[in-house]
C-alpha cells in the first residue's frame, strides 16, 4: 500500500486493491531518479508468482473480471500465439535473396500480418536483470495498428478487447516470422506482449525506426500515432539496421498537454525524468497501474493523443518537418 503514489486528482483505487499493493514503489523498481545507466528490473507482467513485487496486484487484475465472458474470450485469443508451433531450424542457410535479407525479412514481416516493421542491432541493456540476453545479434520489430474507434472507448472493456486482439495478431505474426527465418537456416526467437518476460520492446522499436517515445510513455508512429502494439523476433540472420525515425513527435510533446490533462490519476509527468541514467518521458507507475487495474484497462492517453486520431498524423508530420532542425549536410 505504501507503494501507491498520492495523486493530485480525485481518483482513488478501491480498498480491495490497496490491500494487495506491496510496500515498495514501482517507480523505485523502474529506476526513477537513478543517474547510473543500467538494465531494467522486472516490475509487472510476470505471472510466475515470484519474480516481481507486484504479484498480488497482477493476480487481483486477472481475478477481477474472470467472470466476464468477453474478457475471458479476448484473453484466450491473445494466448493463441503460445499454441503456434515453432518449426526446426533448417540444417543449412538458404542463399541470400537478390534484394538482400533485410528487404526479404521486412516483406516477410508484412506478409506475416505486421502493419510496419524495422530492424536494429539488439542491445544487451534492453534485457531484464534476471533474464539471459536472448540469442541473436539482430531484432526485427513489428507494429500492429488498433481499430481506433475501439481503442477510443477506453477505459471501456471494448478497448481492452481490442488490445487483446492486437496482441494476439502481433504474437502470431512474430511466430510466423520466426518460423520463416528458421526455415531459411537461422535460429530466431519470437517475443510478444504483454508477458514479454525478458526484454523491453519500446527501445528496440525506437531504434528500429518505428517512431518516437511520447510524453505518455508509449510510442508515437508517423502513421498510426499511439494507436498500435508491438512484437519482435531476434535472430542471427545477417541484416542491416534501419535508422531511427525522428519526425517531430518528441518536439510536439514538449508543448502538448492533451494526455497529461486526460489521465484520470494524473500519472503523466509534464517534464522528462531521469530513469536509470536516461532522461526521458515517464509515467508514474504507482499512479497509472492502480487506475489500469481497477478498470481492467486504460489507454485513454493513447486514444486522446492527437497523433492517434485517424487522418491527423500525416498533417502533423508535415507541420513538424518545418520546425525540426535540418540534418547537417555531408561534406
Ligand atoms: S494508461 Fe490511463 S492511467 Fe495510465 S497514463 Fe495513460 S491515461 Fe493515465
Ligand atoms: S497527447 Fe500530446 S503530449 Fe501526450 S503523447 Fe500525444 S502528442 Fe505527446
Residue 175 maps to a domain: yes
Give the Cα separation of 121 and 242 in Å (integer): 9
**Centre of ligand 2 from the C-alpha of residue 253, in Å:** 5
Per-residue confidence (pLDDT) for residue 158, from 0 to 100 = 94
- Model pLDDT for residues 243-254, shown as the tens digit of each residue: 999 999 999 999
Query: Cis bond leading into 194, ω under 30°?
Result: yes
pLDDT of residue 324: 86
At 49 the pLDDT is 87
User: Do the domain assignments include residue 110?
Assistant: yes
The answer to whether residue 8 is domain-embedded is no
Q: Specify the pLDDT at position 47.
A: 84
Is any atom of ligand 2 closer than 6 Å to the C-beta of 89? no
pLDDT bin (cut points 50, 70, 90) of residue 3 is: low
pLDDT at 65 over 90: no
Confidence of residue 329 (pLDDT cuts 50, 70, 90): low
- Any domain includes 9: no
Q: State the ligand closest to the CA atom of 216.
A: 2
pLDDT tens track for 299-327: 999 999 999 999 999 999 999 999 987 65
Predicted pLDDT of residue 141: 98
88 C-beta neighbours (distance < 10 Å), count? 8
Distance CA 146, CA 310 (A): 11
Task: Give the pLDDT confidence score for residue 326 in this predicted structure.
Answer: 66
Q: Are 227 and 210 in contact (CB under 8 A)?
A: no
User: pLDDT tens digit string along 177-223?
Assistant: 999 999 999 999 999 988 888 999 999 999 999 999 999 999 999 99
Closest ligand 2 atom to residue 308 Cα is 6
Instruction: Give residue 296's pLDDT.
Output: 87
Ligand closest in space to the Cα of 155 = 1
**Closest CA to ligand 2's atom 2:** 256
Residue 49: Cβ-neighbour burial (10 angstroms; 0-12, 13-18, 19+): exposed
**Is a pLDDT exceeding 70 seen at residue 5?**
no
Q: Say yes or no to pLDDT of 2 above 70.
A: no
Tell whether ligand 2 has an atom less than 6 A from the beta carbon of residue 316.
Answer: no
In a domain, 328, yes or no: no
The predicted-structure confidence for 133-155, as pLDDT tens digits, reads as follows 999 999 999 999 999 999 999 99
Strand partners, 120: 139
> What is the residue with the minimal CA distance to atom 8 of ligand 2?
253
Mean pLDDT value across residues 218-229:
97
Pocket, ligand 1, Cβ cutoff 6 A? 216, 263, 265, 267-268, 283, 288, 291-292, 298-301
Q: Look over the chain and give the mean of its residue pLDDT values, rounded to a whole number.
A: 94
- State the total domains in the chain: 1
Non-local (6+) Cβ contacts of 195 within 8 A are 45, 46, 47
Predicted confidence (pLDDT) per residue in 24-37, tens digit: 999 999 999 999 99
State the pairing for strand pair 228-235/278-280: unpaired
Check if 259 has its Cβ closer than 6 Å to any atom of ligand 2: yes
pLDDT confidence of residue 111 = 98
Q: Measure 236 CA to ligand 1 centroid, in angstroms.
A: 37
> Would you put residue 276 in left (φ > 0), alpha (ψ -120 to 50) or beta?
left
Binning pLDDT at 50, 70 and 90, where does residue 93 land? very high
* Domain span at 207: 15-321
What pLDDT was estimated at residue 325? 76
Q: What pLDDT, on a 0 to 100 scale, did the predictor assign at position 1?
A: 45
- 156 C-alpha to ligand 2 centroid (Å): 21
Ligand nearest to the CA of 293: 1
Residue 7 falls inside a structural domain: no
Q: Residue 239: name the closest of 145, 143, 77, 121 by CA.
A: 121
What local confidence, expressed as pLDDT, does residue 66 receive?
Answer: 85
Nearest CA to ligand 2 atom 6: 305
Task: Take atom 8 of ligand 1 and give the residue whose Cα is closest.
Answer: 263
Q: Do the beta carbons of residue 21 and residue 1 sit within 8 Å?
A: yes
pTM of the model: 0.94
Is the CB–ligand 2 distance for residue 320 below 6 Å?
A: no
Give Cα 158 to chain centroid, integer Å. 19
pLDDT at 43: 96
In a domain, 303, yes or no: yes
Please give the share of the chain, as a percent, with pLDDT higher than 70: 96
- Is 129 domain-assigned? yes
Amino acid at each position: 500500500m505504501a507503494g501507491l503514489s498520492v495523486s493530485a486528482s480525485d481518483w482513488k483505487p478501491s480498498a480491495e486493491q490497496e490491500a494487495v499493493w506491496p510496500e515498495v514503489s514501482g517507480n523505485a523498481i523502474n529506476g526513477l531518479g537513478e543517474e547510473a545507466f543500467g538494465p531494467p528490473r522486472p516490475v509487472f507482467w510476470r505471472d510466475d508468482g515470484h519474480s516481481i513485487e507486484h504479484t498480488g496486484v497482477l493476480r487481483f487484475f486477472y481475478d477481477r473480471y474472470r467472470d466476464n465472458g468477453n474478457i475471458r474470450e479476448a484473453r484466450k485469443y491473445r494466448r493463441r500465439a503460445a499454441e503456434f508451433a515453432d518449426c526446426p531450424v533448417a540444417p543449412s542457410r538458404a542463399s541470400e535473396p537478390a534484394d538482400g535479407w533485410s528487404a526479404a525479412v521486412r516483406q516477410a514481416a508484412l506478409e506475416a500480418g505486421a502493419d510496419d516493421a524495422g530492424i536494429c542491432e539488439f542491445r544487451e541493456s534492453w534485457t531484464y536483470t534476471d533474464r539471459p540476453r536472448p540469442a541473436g545479434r539482430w531484432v526485427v520489430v513489428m507494429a500492429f495498428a488498433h481499430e481506433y474507434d475501439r481503442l477510443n472507448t477506453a477505459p471501456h472493456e471494448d478497448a481492452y478487447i481490442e488490445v487483446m486482439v492486437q496482441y494476439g495478431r502481433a504474437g502470431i505474426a512474430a511466430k510466423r516470422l520466426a518460423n520463416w527465418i528458421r526455415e531459411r537456416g537461422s535460429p530466431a526467437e519470437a517475443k510478444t506482449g504483454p508477458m514479454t518476460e525478458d526484454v523491453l520492446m519500446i527501445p528496440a522499436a525506437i531504434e528500429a525506426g518505428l517512431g518516437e517515445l511520447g510524453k505518455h510513455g508509449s510510442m508515437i508512429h508517423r502513421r498510426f500515432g499511439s494507436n498500435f502494439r508491438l512484437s519482435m523476433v531476434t535472430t542471427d540472420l545477417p541484416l542491416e539496421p534501419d535508422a531511427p525515425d525522428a519526425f517531430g513527435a518528441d518536439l510536439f510533446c514538449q508543448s502538448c498537454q492533451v494526455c497529461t490533462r486526460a489521465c484520470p490519476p494524473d500519472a503523466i509527468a509534464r517534464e522528462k525524468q531521469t530513469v536509470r541514467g536516461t532522461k526521458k518521458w515517464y509515467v508514474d507507475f504507482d499512479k497509472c497501474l492502480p487506475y489500469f487495474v481497477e478498470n481492467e484497462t486504460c489507454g485513454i492517453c493513447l486514444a486522446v493523443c492527437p497523433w492517434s486520431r485517424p487522418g491527423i498524423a500525416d498533417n502533423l508530420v508535415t507541420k513538424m518537418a518545418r520546425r525540426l532542425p535540418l540534418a547537417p549536410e555531408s561534406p
